[in-house]
Structure 1
Amino acid sequence: MNQKRFCKTLQLEDNSELIKAYKKVHAPGAVWPEITQGMKDVGILDMEIYIHGTQLFMIMDTVAGFDHDKAMAELATKPRQSEWEAYVSRFQKTSEAATADEKWQLMERIFKMD
């Protein structure tokens, strides 16, 4: 099965209590079901987020024909999505009004092992 992969980054606030809380809201079963359903609805097959200090790194695997900009615009309209973004913004170096697409910056792949 062909897939597309996108890697993104985001900076958290430099506050150990906020980082601990951010991890807690992303623990298994903690993310609101409407959020993960919205991601599936727009063609996101799998997503993982890693952390090092205040730096987050996301790996997002999608369906083969995934149009990133179109899907992110559609995702922003899904149930509870804007509420979720406002909720998690307190942990992130961003504004409460920012969409997921405005917060998470696409990374450029510079190496792939043959």
Structure 2
Amino acid sequence: MNATRRFCYACDLVHDSNLIQEYKQYHSEGKAWPEITDSIKAAGIVDMEIYLVENRLFMIMEVDETFTLERKKKMDRENPKVQEWEDLMWKFQQALPSAKNGEKWVPTELIFQL
């Protein structure tokens, strides 16, 4: 069995209950665009979960040995459907206060592991 690595990120949603519900609908089972889930898998992401508390999102990705952040960013830039999805998601998302210009998902720091 191949070893996987884990990446965890945070992002905020616009603090509007209607927008948050709509965002949740886009991410409910079977509702994410198939081109997006195909792109995620093609990048070497074997599992992805997104959790929500209030308006803060936490994403956990399990990736295989083929995954690199640089490769994923390049694949996303070159995929018009991914760009369309990302543009749509900005309607709901807002950058964390510490995010760099244009950065959505900010890497989290692992501070405890059992």
> Shorter-chain-normalised TM-score: which range?
0.7 to 0.9
1:56-102 deviations in Å (ceiling 9; x for gaps): 000011112422223222233224000001111111115xxxxxx82
Tell me how far apart the structure 1 counterparts of residues 44 and 66 of structure 2 sit (CA, whole Å): 9
Counterpart in the other structure of 2:32 = 31
Q: How does 1:80-91 map to 2 (within 5 A)?
A: 80-91=81-92
Q: How does 1:55-66 map to 2 (within 5 A)?
A: 55-66=56-67
RMSD (Å), alpha carbons: 1.5
Tell me how far apart the structure 1 counterparts of residues 92 and 86 of structure 2 sit (CA, whole Å): 10
**Structure 2, unaligned runs of 5 or more:** 96-101
Tell me how far apart the structure 2 counterparts of residues 60 and 111 of structure 1 sit (CA, whole Å): 17
Tell me how far apart the structure 2 counterparts of residues 64 and 90 of structure 1 sit (CA, whole Å): 33
For 1:112, what is the secondary structure of its paired residue?
coil
Counterpart in the other structure of 2:20 = 19
Structure 2 letter corresponding to 1:61: E
Counterpart in the other structure of 2:98 = none
Q: Taking structure 1 as the reference length, what is the TM-score of the superposition?
A: 0.87
Q: Kindly state the Cα deviation for residue 24 of structure 1 after the two structures are TM-superposed.
A: 0.6
User: Which segment is superposed worse, 80-89 or 59-68?
Assistant: 59-68
Tell me how far apart the structure 2 counterparts of residues 65 and 111 of structure 1 sit (CA, whole Å): 26
- Is contact 2:43–2:66 with CA below 8 Å preserved after alignment? no
Tell me how far apart the structure 2 counterparts of residues 112 and 76 of structure 1 sit (CA, whole Å): 34
Q: Taking structure 2 as the reference length, what is the TM-score of the superposition?
A: 0.87
- Is contact 2:11–2:57 with CA below 8 Å preserved after alignment? yes
Structure 2 letter corresponding to 1:18: L
Q: Percent identity, please.
A: 39
Q: Kindly state the Cα deviation for residue 111 of structure 1 after the two structures are TM-superposed.
A: 1.0
